[in-house]
Structure 1
Amino acid sequence: MSASISSAETPFLDRFRLTGRTALVTGGARGIGLVTCEALTQAGAGIILADRDGEAAKSAAGGLREKGYDVTAETLDVTDPAAVEALADKHANVDILVNNAGIARSNIPAERMSDDEWSSVVDVNLNGLFWCCRAFGKRMLERGAGTIVNVGSMSGIIVNRPQEQAQYNASKAAVHQLTKSLAAEWAPRGVRVNAVAPTYIETEMTAYVYEDENLMRHWIGGTPQGRMGRPDEIAAVILFLASDAASLMTGSIVLADGGYTCW
Structure 2
Amino acid sequence: MIAISHPDRIWASLQQADITLILAALALNLPVIWLRALRAQLMVRQLGYSVPMRSMAPIQLVGQTSSTITPAASGDYVRAYLWRSSNGVPVRVGAAVVTFERLTFAPLLFELMPTNLEQWVLAKLGKRRIMGRFQEGATVMIDQVRKLMKAPLLLAWTSGLTLVNFIAMGAQLWLVMLSLAHRVPITQAVAANSTSQVAGIISTLPFGIGSQDAILVTVFAGYGVTVSLAASAAVLMRATTTIPLALAGLAAYLMVDKPAVRPAMEVE
Larger radius of gyration: 2
Considering fraction of residues, name the structure with more helix.
2
| TM-score, scaled relative to structure 1 | 0.26
| TM-score, scaled relative to structure 2 | 0.25
Considering fraction of residues, name the structure with more strand.
1
| Larger RCO, structures 1/2 (Cα 8 Å, 6+ apart) | 2
